[in-house]
Structure 1
Amino acid sequence: MNIKITGTGSYIPDTIEKNEAFYEHTFLNTDGSIINYPNNVIIEKFQAITGIAERRYAKPHLNASDLGFFAAERAIEDAKIDPETIDYIIVAHNFGDVKYNTVQSDMLPGLAVRIKHSLRIKNPKCVAYDILFGCPGWIEGVIQAQAFIKAGMAKRCLVIGTETLSRVVDKYDRDAMIFSDGAGATIIEATEDEGGILAHETASYTYDEAYHLYFGNSNNQNLNKDTRYIKMDGRKIYEFALIHVPQAIKTCIDNSGVAIKDIKKIFIHQANEKMDEAILKRLYRLYKTEIPEHIMPMSIQTLGNSSVATVPTLLDLVRNNKLENQSLNKGDVIIFASVGAGMHINAFAYKY
């Protein structure tokens, strides 16, 4: 028995927010003072570092559970399965449903419950639950699905990553330009087909690193102090990722028994283009070998950072030949890896 991804689906919102839309924003330092650079300079520097030129925002009437439902429908259709045969629905997110122009997160009932309801699945044995694991949530959901299947508790799981980060950003913070909305979904199931998940690695660094990402006050000191927004210490996250993520990926590859030269693709969480490139360089430096061309697909330039949705969305795009110079062939060994709030890191090796 092998455990494989048999279907993928994604939902990329229609609303495109280009960097030019931020030219009229008022960007403030954390102490509330004005940043002493014109906005065009701030935005040009931002794009040079992150690679982001535009991002996607959900339409006002849609919430994270809606986006997850759309992606799930497409994954189910792609896998050609009866949704009543799904044993677990695992939904990774960070903020639940945040309705447009509100400040309150709604997670009762959980997003997995809402998505199961929208899919009109009647089977009570289909267990639906949420996972809060920062940006690595979808990967951790896949690892959990694999564990359920290996333990004989399930044969087929639906794992979703969905988020509307545009609704929890502080518009006075330059980091607001990083975040976006979207959803990705996958069917994970036991199969006799060759390939599947070969190895995985997960770690949580919480001693000094727990609050690199957190919910904090607006940079605008005049706003309500009880309203919180997603905040991060970008420098600390960058340094953490460069130290720990390459080693975690290497451990996963080594445990898979596959040589680095045989890895065909590496799907890394789309957090920051320069950071992902630096992670890749350090990984290949550990193996003392050159980086192959086109090994790391990227979507952050046009989709931004949609947290748990970035990796499954990227996989769906590549599977459907929607990224230039990127494709997958049967037998390819690929790596999935992520880093995010917690601080959590994880990875799994997979034979396509």
Structure 2
Amino acid sequence: MRARILGTGSYLPEGYLTNDDLAQWLDTSDTWIRERTGIRERHITKTGTVEMAVKAAEAALANAGVTSEEIDLILVGTMTPDYFCPSVSCQVQAELGMEHAVCMDIGAACSGFLFALATAQAYLTSGMARTALVIGSETLSKVVDWSDRGTCVLFGDGAGAAVVGIDEKGVLAIDMGSKGSKGMALPCPGIPLQNPLQDASEEGSQKSYIQMDGQEIFKFAIRTVPETVRRSLQAAGVCVGDVSHFFFHQANRRILETVAKNLRIPLEKVPMNIERTGNTAAASIPLLLDEWNRKGSLVRGEKLVLSGFGAGLSWGSIVMEW
């Protein structure tokens, strides 16, 4: 038996910022941003990670025809929780009345949804759970420096979700990995150390903003994503040509085009929504998956690849039958 996605849901905040909006206070332009990233606008929340997660979850439950009472595992991929504790997953449980579910947040940044889906696969196939709710939800607008055009133009807010159950078809192979030695190419500092044993002159003052070595991340992505996709396809016994759609993490259009070229995938097999969403980290892949699902572009039984990369550094690919 395998873990299989039964339904999907997503949520994008009504508020958004266009490139022209950003140009009002940044030394940038719509042309400059589009040429380098493929991004035109990004959604910005006025609430937070939990509310977006709940709305995406409700949509996924309705799409799957599954009730809250049937969920016994909640996994949330996020790097931007509203609270350190309780976790986003526990707050989703409380909001939706999923009293019997085990709850866990997974902090793998942009790979978070893939890591959560892989965890769901392990729980379900081992018999530890029967029906899982897997969510990626991010409020990246609170961890970017809005005066830094190198980072703030890239990111947006949103949430995507999937209900996952046991079936004869579903996940065929998983490839995951991490390289902590390169992690500081994409850091986001936490609360600085402040305690009675620390010298007052040494108290940290660093802001909790995303920082990024863009060139290093670009090189990492265009090398690592093709490698992980090839490994997962080989493990599944599936050829590139047998895959109907490749759902890649929406980080940068140039990265997506380069990866597709490396793998010899026609661009029509590589769905994109980065122009309208920006990089939404763990929410990226489930947002895109739900968009394609709801417009009827996915056919039951066809083969899909979900693949992403992000801070950590981390990466993952999942080959599945839809």
TM-score (norm. length: structure 2): 0.92
Counterpart among 207, 213, 223 of residue 186 in structure 2:
213
Q: How far is the alpha carbon of 1:6 from its aligned partner? A: 0.1
Q: How far is the alpha carbon of 1:280 from its aligned partner? A: 1.4
Q: How far is the alpha carbon of 1:120 from its aligned partner? A: 1.7
> Which ranges in structure 1 are unaligned for 5 or more consecutive residues?
27-37, 98-105, 218-223, 285-290
Q: How far is the alpha carbon of 1:16 from its aligned partner? A: 2.1
Matched with 1:239 is 219
- Give runs of aligned pairs for residues 248-259 of structure 1, distance below 5 A: 248-259=228-239
Letter in 2 for 1:119: L
Q: How far is the alpha carbon of 1:264 from its aligned partner? A: 0.8
Matched with 1:113 is 90
Q: How far is the alpha carbon of 1:293 from its aligned partner? A: 4.8
> Which ranges in structure 2 are unaligned for 5 or more consecutive residues?
191-203
CA 292–226 in structure 1, closer or farther in 2 if over 3 Å, else same: closer
| 3-state DSSP of counterpart to 1:199 | strand
Q: How far is the alpha carbon of 1:282 from its aligned partner? A: 1.2
Matched with 2:32 is 45
Matched residues in 1 for 2:220 and 2:2: separation? 34
Q: How far is the alpha carbon of 1:225 from its aligned partner? A: 3.5
**1:247 and 1:283 in contact (8 A); partners too:** no
Matched with 1:86 is 71
Would you say 1:145 and 2:120 are equivalent positions?
yes
Identity of aligned residues (%): 33
Q: How far is the alpha carbon of 1:110 from its aligned partner? A: 0.5
| 3-state DSSP of counterpart to 1:184 | strand
How large is the Cα RMSD of the aligned pairs? 1.6
**2:3 and 2:120 in contact (8 A); partners too:** no
Matched with 2:41 is 54
Matched with 1:127 is 102
**2:4 and 2:167 in contact (8 A); partners too:** yes
| 3-state DSSP of counterpart to 2:119 | helix
Matched with 1:338 is 308
Matched residues in 1 for 2:221 and 2:304: separation? 20
Q: Deviations over 1:4-23 (max 9, x none)?
A: 10010000111121100012
Matched with 2:200 is none
Matched with 2:136 is 161
Matched residues in 2 for 1:269 and 1:84: separation? 31
Q: Deviations over 1:58-77 (max 9, x none)?
A: 1x2x1101100000011111
Q: How far is the alpha carbon of 1:216 from its aligned partner? A: 5.4
Counterpart among 285, 289, 300 of residue 274 in structure 2:
300
Matched residues in 2 for 1:130 and 1:115: separation? 11
CA 243–54 in structure 1, closer or farther in 2 if over 3 Å, else same: same
Q: How far is the alpha carbon of 1:154 from its aligned partner? A: 0.9
Q: Deviations over 1:102-156 (max 9, x none)?
A: xxxx221011000100102232xx1011110110000110000000111111111
TM-score (norm. length: structure 1): 0.84
CA 190–199 in structure 1, closer or farther in 2 if over 3 Å, else same: same
Structure with bigger helix share is 2
**2:248 and 2:270 in contact (8 A); partners too:** yes
CA 231–110 in structure 1, closer or farther in 2 if over 3 Å, else same: same
Letter in 1 for 2:75: I
Q: How far is the alpha carbon of 1:205 from its aligned partner? A: 1.1
Question: Structure 1 stretches (4+) deviating beyond 3 angstroms?
Answer: none
